[in-house]
């Protein structure tokens, strides 16, 4: 079942690359007591993700944070090496969290997994964005097509804030 507005995020652990190496970070650490924008992509380095979705959040980071948001995070079903490389190459390292959902545990738990085997990607996350307050979903924007980043993009999130 897909997570819905008013639901609390399930407990999960991600891996994130930092200057000191990989660290585990839990949903409680990321979202408890905070207002956070979380967006998900089908895969790091994929065209829509790298050319449209992620850049919008990086370019609008300060504006989003200025609207009372404490943090921004992106999650993908990739390992922490890939997410760390994406953070570095995009210029996003240290600006937003790049969360590796390496086993798709979180993605499955929120019911936003999708099978992209036909495109050679296998099990991935649907493209979406969420506004969370203390780990509770206040807004949920799911894309109809993995190749679009309109309802889940930074501009759409800014309209909600």
List active site positions.
49
Please state whether 108 falls in left (phi above 0), alpha (psi between -120 and 50) or beta: alpha
CA distance 73 to 66: 16
H or E element: which one contains 47?
Answer: helix 47-48
Opening angle at CA 12, ends 90 and 55, nearest 5: 20
The pair of structure tokens assigned to 43 is 């895969």
């Amino acid at each position: 079942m897909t997570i819905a507005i008013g639901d609390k995020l399930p407990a999960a652990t991600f891996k994130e690359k930092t200057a000191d190496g990989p660290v585990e970070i839990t949903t409680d650490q990321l979202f408890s007591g905070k207002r956070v924008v979380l967006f998900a992509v089908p895969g790091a380095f994929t065209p829509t993700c790298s050319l449209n979705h992620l850049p919008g959040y990086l370019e609008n980071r300060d504006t989003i944070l200025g609207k009372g948001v404490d943090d921004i995070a992106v999650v993908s079903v990739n390992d922490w090496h890939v997410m760390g490389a994406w953070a570095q190459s995009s210029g996003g390292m240290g600006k937003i969290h790049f969360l590796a959902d390496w086993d798709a545990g979180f993605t499955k738990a929120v019911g936003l997994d999708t099978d992209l085997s036909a495109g050679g990607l296998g099990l991935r996350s649907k493209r979406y964005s969420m506004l969370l307050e203390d780990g509770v979903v206040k807004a949920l924007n799911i894309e109809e097509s993995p190749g679009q980043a309109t309802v889940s993009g930074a501009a759409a999130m800014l309209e909600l804030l």
